[in-house]
Amino acid sequence: MHREKGYPMDPENVTVTEEVAGSDIPVELKYLETWDGLYAPIGLRLPPGDGPFPLVLLASGNGGGGMPWIRNAVANRGYIMERLLERGYACAWIRYRTEVELGYENGGRLIRDTRQGRDMFNRSPLEYEDEIAIVEQLKKDPRIDAERIGLIGMSHGGEMVLKITSEYQGIKAAVASEPASHEFLALTPDETAFVEPDTGMRNIEEMQMVETEKVRARIDMKKAAERISTIDTPILVMGREDDHLQGIFRVSYELLAEAGKPVEWVSWDHDLHGYIYPLRGSDGQYEVNEVAEAAITGVLDYLERHL
């Protein structure tokens, strides 16, 4: 309808198709509406055929960066996309709003009400809720199998997997790789964290949480157990040997397992934080060693068992 009025595309369904280096499968750069009416960028790719296809969403770290971040991720962190496409999965890099310090801990559950026929919330949506909104939007795409949606989240994206599956039952299976889930587990930082004098915000970048005993001692177990109790989604938790947060990664798995949740654990020895998302080197080739290749194959096999 809008195109007939002279628009180059429908303003309510903005999609720009862009080629991907080294691949015959392009990326659809899209903007999807989140719960408060703002738009989040994604880069969606579909395998050959008519579908509907199972879909895997890719998330990494904190939010922000917008469409430039998406385009860079597709261009330079797209190795896992190629592997997913080979197996017949649709896949998308997603972006979401910036993480709010202790927003999950202090904000409480989002309550959605209406005033004068429009939405009224008790707080602003958070980044993990943007991912839920993206899932719900993509489920409406006839090319996507709405019953077979998977998530892969790394670092803060891995913690988002736990937050999402604790509140939302629309995910078939998920991978939480190196999940920085200290907030989800209600963990109190130790003396390796400090408050930035200029902002009054915590700096936990170098927090040392290697030993599981230390992590367990600093967790609010009652609160963590309540959050875990509502998780029914199968989750693969992935650690990284010698990481300073390995204890958090492992305890995330252990508490899920102790609660009887459908969870699996694997840990790999790799020097890259985010080894399941290999980077493209200066020569244009992806830097994938045997460990990363085995880890990614394990992720794909896991998803195939559940999706």
Give the model confidence (pLDDT) of 117-149 as tens digits: 899 999 999 999 999 999 999 999 999 999 999
Would residue 178 be called left, alpha or beta, if left means φ above 0 and alpha means ψ between -120 and 50 degrees? Answer: left
Which residues are 144's β-sheet partners? Answer: 53
d(CA 32, CA 140): 11
Which tokens in the block code for residue 122? 């008790």
pLDDT in tens, 91-125: 999 999 999 999 999 999 999 999 998 999 999 99
Mean pLDDT over 29-51 rounds to: 97
d(CA 294, CA 238): 13
Average pLDDT over residues 268-283: 97
Whether 301 shows a pLDDT value over 70: the answer reads yes
238 touches 174 (CB < 8 A): no
d(CA 20, CA 38): 27
Q: Which two tokens stand for residue 260?
A: 């009887």
C-alpha–C-alpha distance, residues 237 and 239, integer Å: 7
Task: Identify any residues that bridge with 31 across adjacent strands, giving them in sequence order.
Answer: 41
Over 70: is that where the pLDDT of 296 sits?
yes
Distance between CA 136 and CA 52 in Å, rounded?
Answer: 15
What are the backbone angles phi and psi of residue 109, rounded to the nearest 5°? Answer: -65, 135
Q: Which helix (H) or strand (E) covers residue 227, if one does?
A: helix 221-229
* pLDDT value at 4 more than 60: no
Residue 92 confidence (pLDDT): 98
- 10 Å Cβ neighbour count for 35? 16
Q: For residues 201 and 121, what is the distance between their CA atoms, to the nearest angstrom?
A: 25
Q: Rounded distance, CA 159 to CA 99, Å?
A: 11
How confident is the model over 169-203, as pLDDT tens digits?
A: 999 999 999 999 999 999 999 888 888 888 887 88
Q: Is the pLDDT of residue 66 over 90?
A: yes
Mean pLDDT across the stretch 264-274?
A: 98
- The whole-number pLDDT of residue 6 equals 63
Average pLDDT of the chain is 95
Please give the Cα distance from 153 to 249 (Å, whole number): 13
Q: Return the bridge partners of 195, or none.
A: 202
Instruction: Identify the burial level of 110 via C-beta atoms within 10 angstroms of its C-beta, where 0-12 means exposed, 13-18 middle and 19 or more buried.
Output: middle
Confidence check: pLDDT of 22 > 80: yes
Report d(CA 175, CA 153) in Å as an integer.
6
CA atoms within 13 A on the CB side of 240: 21
Phi then psi for residue 94, to 5 deg, are -125, 155
Instruction: Specify the fold of 3-306.
Output: Rossmann fold (3.40.50)
CA-to-CA distance for 59 and 55, rounded, in angstroms?
13
* For residue 3, pLDDT beyond 80: no
Q: Report the pLDDT value the prediction gives residue 37, as an integer from 0 to 100.
A: 95
Q: What is the mean pLDDT of residues 202-227?
A: 93
Q: What is the mean pLDDT of residues 13-40?
A: 96
Higher per-residue pLDDT: 72 or 8 = 72
Q: What is the pLDDT of residues 154-165, one digit of tens each?
A: 999 999 999 999
Cβ–Cβ < 8 Å for 109, 95: no
Q: C-alpha angle with apex 218: 241 to 62, nearest 5 degrees? A: 60
Half-sphere exposure of 67 (CA within 13 A, CB side): 13
What is the C-alpha separation between 67 and 73, in angstroms, rounded?
A: 10
Tell me the C-alpha distance between 138 and 134, whole Å.
6
Decide if pLDDT at 7 tops 80.
Answer: no
Tokens (6 digits) for 111: 């309550």
pTM of the prediction?
0.95
Q: Please give the structure tokens belonging to residue 273.
A: 């934080």
Rounded to whole angstroms, the Cα distance separating 147 from 262 reads 18
